Amino acid sequence: MLKEQTRTSEIVRRGWDAVARGDWEALVADYIEDMVFVMPGQADVLNGRAAFREALDGLGGLLPKGFSISSIRQIGEGPEVVSIVEWTCDSIPEGSQLAVLFRFRGDKVAEERWFVDTEQWKAAF
């Protein structure tokens, strides 16, 4: 009997749950070794799971003060899943949204790319 493949949207959800717990090891376990992470502005790129894991230790410094996620919903299934993230922070209490594209190779994340209003993001700091 064939092993049932985990839905990619469920892998993304599991990753957000790991982020909420601060469980970086559980998060990176669902990424391939040569994954790519593209941060807001599309110019800052991390190559490889080790670089991504190291950046997670400094996550607090990468987010605006008081950053909080109020909701997340997934769009898509299969090789591409998008998360729509509603968030607030101290300087943007009315909140905003961003999107995160997850590209898969099999049942592992190969690329995570954030799409955010870069002017608003800069102003949040």
CATH number of 8-123: 3.10.450.50
**Helix (H, G, I), strand (E, B), or coil: what is residue 90?**
coil
From first to last of the 125 residues of the chain, give the pLDDT tens digit: 334 467 999 999 999 999 888 899 999 999 999 999 998 765 679 999 999 999 888 876 777 888 889 999 999 999 999 999 999 999 999 999 999 999 999 999 999 999 988 888 888 88
For residues 113, 92, 76, 43, the Cα torsion angle rounded to the nearest 10 degrees is -10
Write the CA distances from 113 to 90, 93, 101, 116, integer angstroms.
24, 24, 5, 10
Q: Please enumerate in sequence order all residues whose Cβ is within 8 A of that of 11, keeping only pairs 6 or more positions apart, or say none.
A: 30, 81, 102, 104, 107, 109
Q: Among 28, 90, 32, which Cα is nearest to 55's? A: 28
Ordered by start, the domain boundaries in the chain are: 8-123
Q: Please enumerate in sequence order all residues whose Cβ is within 8 A of that of 54, keeping only pairs 6 or more positions apart, or say none.
A: none
Beta bridge partners of 51: none
Q: How far apart are CA 119 and CA 110, in angstroms?
A: 27
The pLDDT value recorded for residue 59 is 75
